[in-house]
Amino acid sequence: MKIAMVAEHANPLPAHRGEPTCPASLHVCALSRQLAKRGHRVTVYARRSSPEQPDGRTRMARGVSVAYLDAGPARPLSEDEQAEHTGAFGTALAAVLDEDTPDVLHAVGWTSGLAALHAQAHSEKDQSGTPLVQTFHSLNASEQRSGLTHRPDRARMETILASRADHVLVNSTDQQGELARLGVPRHHVSVVPFGVDTDHFSVEGSASAEPWQARREERPRLVSVTSLTEAGGAQRLVEAMTRLPEAELLLVSTAEDQDVAIDENARRIELLAKEAGVDDRVHLTGPAERKELPRLLRSADVYVSATAYDPYGGAVLEAMACGLPVVATATGAVPGAVLHRTSGVLMRFGRPDEVARSVRAVLNTPTMSTAYGIAAVDRARSRFTWQRIAVETELAYRRSRPQQAERDDTEEEETDLLLSGVVN
């Protein structure tokens, strides 16, 4: 199958090289590589966000190439700027699709979906027979329920995209429910979660001692890979440390290309830690290289997150794969990853007192903590490998084709066989 993956604001090449990157870019990189391993040919179309990005198609892996299209300034765009150039991106996309018509068009993100619809409408060839699969990593309706900003234009566009796409993929049952409330039939939507590389993130391997205090045996270690903005929950974790005098915390920033030494949010967190009297037990570090991140995770005792909304759950999955019990806010994709009181503890609000209470419950019961870690590894390996995510995405591609809209029992058996083969 020839797949055109439209990811307007992603950049999979840095993720392929192991550099720190956003979850959307990591998703596109990992998924496209696994689809190629299954025999498909994938081209990722992204907006040129730097003049240094190559022209034409760049081979990323066997069966995967990346093409950057010119649309707007060749620099990263803010969220408010992104939609302004989607039309131009869609026009550029129409031209390349006329030259190389795919078997399926997979849009990752709502602006990518708009660009894909624009490309189909403005193509010189008839692209109406090419099915459109739409992935939503997040929905504004879900974000509103978590207290984030209401964006009515985006919410309206997401509803239109969900109804016009041939099939829709979301990260969580929470998002599937939101689409159902908007009138999108449940059979039209598949829940395909974020994945994790369980070969790279595993319990085997060394641990990193550099970010921590030298006397390891005296303090339990908490780690969180999170945004240092207010929505990321780092402030609540720092405040929780005043109630956990026995522990130390490592905050790994997710801000791309942003050193903590010049990050205003990092300065705010450091000042807060100093005012709270916990600055000797709270450590901040910039985005970690992919090869280093498992070592950081394995050096901790508990993974903790108090983010207001986590649509991906990727950092939680990586911690689970490294054998860490998880204490996290039950938001976004996290409840689908963490089984409450089986692989970790889910919090309702993630307030500082709730964080401290939940962490202490895990730390004070070593047997339970060990059991959580074992269950976390098992769940990451059985449900969230990128190999399985690729199979589920491939099945969604099949459902998007008109001739396979009504699948018979044989196809159902084939689906079960494919998934069981990945798990085993």
Q: Tell me how many helices (H) and strands (E) the chain has.
A: 17, 14
- In tens, the pLDDT along 325-358 reads 999 999 999 999 999 999 999 999 999 999 999 9
- Alpha carbon distance 256, 21 (integer Å): 6
- The answer to the question of residue 360 being in a domain is yes
- The answer to the question of residue 94 being in a domain is yes
DSSP SS3 for 417: helix
Q: Name residue 252's beta-bridge partners.
A: 225, 285
Q: Are residues 32 and 143 in the same domain?
A: yes
- The answer to the question of residue 177 being in a domain is yes
**What's residue 258's pLDDT?**
66
At residue 81, what is the residue type?
Answer: E
Q: Count the Cβ atoms, other than its own, within 10 Å of residue 395.
A: 20
The tokens for 403 are 């001739």
What percent of the chain has pLDDT above 70?
Answer: 93
**What's residue 356's pLDDT?**
98
Mark residue 135 as left, alpha or beta (left: phi above 0; alpha: psi -120 to 50; beta: remaining): beta
- The answer to the question of residue 50 being in a domain is yes
Quick one: DSSP state of residue 205? Answer: S
**What's residue 424's pLDDT?**
44
Q: Are residues 224 and 357 in the same domain?
A: yes
Mark residue 87 as left, alpha or beta (left: phi above 0; alpha: psi -120 to 50; beta: remaining): alpha
Residue 216 pLDDT > 70: no
What percent of the chain has pLDDT above 90?
Answer: 82
- The answer to the question of residue 309 being in a domain is yes
Q: Are residues 235 and 362 in the same domain?
A: yes
Cβ atoms of 240 and 359 closer than 8 Å: yes
**Mean pLDDT calculated for residue range 103-119:** 96
Give the model's confidence band at 260: pLDDT under 50 very low, under 70 low, under 90 confident, else very high: confident
Q: Name residue 329's beta-bridge partners.
A: 347
Q: Are residues 36 and 159 in the same domain?
A: yes
- The answer to the question of residue 207 being in a domain is no
- The answer to the question of residue 211 being in a domain is no
- In tens, the pLDDT along 159-209 reads 999 999 999 999 999 899 999 998 999 999 999 999 999 999 999 999 987
Q: Are residues 329 and 297 in the same domain?
A: yes
Phi, then psi, of 66 in degrees rounded to 5: -120, 135
- The answer to the question of residue 209 being in a domain is no
- What's the pTM? 0.93
Give the model's confidence band at 407: pLDDT under 50 very low, under 70 low, under 90 confident, else very high: very low
Q: Are residues 392 and 374 in the same domain?
A: no
Q: Are residues 11 and 159 in the same domain?
A: yes
Q: Are residues 289 and 190 in the same domain?
A: no
Q: Are residues 93 and 240 in the same domain?
A: no
**What's residue 423's pLDDT?**
46
Cβ atoms of 153 and 160 closer than 8 Å: no
E strand or H helix that includes residue 169 = strand 167-170
User: What is the count of structural domains for the chain?
Assistant: 2
**What's residue 420's pLDDT?**
55
Cβ atoms of 44 and 65 closer than 8 Å: yes
Dihedral of alpha carbons 146, 151, 152, 153, sign: negative
CATH number, domain of 359, equals 3.40.50.2000
Residues of the domain holding 44: 2-195+385-423
The residue length of the chain stands at: 424
- In tens, the pLDDT along 35-70 reads 999 999 999 999 999 999 999 999 999 999 999 999
Lowest pLDDT segment from 214-223, 236-245, 305-314: 214-223
Buried b / exposed e over 87-119, threshold 16 CB at 10 Å, is ebbbbbbbebbeeebbebbbbbbbbbbbbbbbb
Q: Are residues 172 and 25 in the same domain?
A: yes
Q: Are residues 249 and 172 in the same domain?
A: no
Q: Are residues 226 and 366 in the same domain?
A: yes
Cβ atoms of 236 and 355 closer than 8 Å: yes
**Mean pLDDT calculated for residue range 224-239:** 96
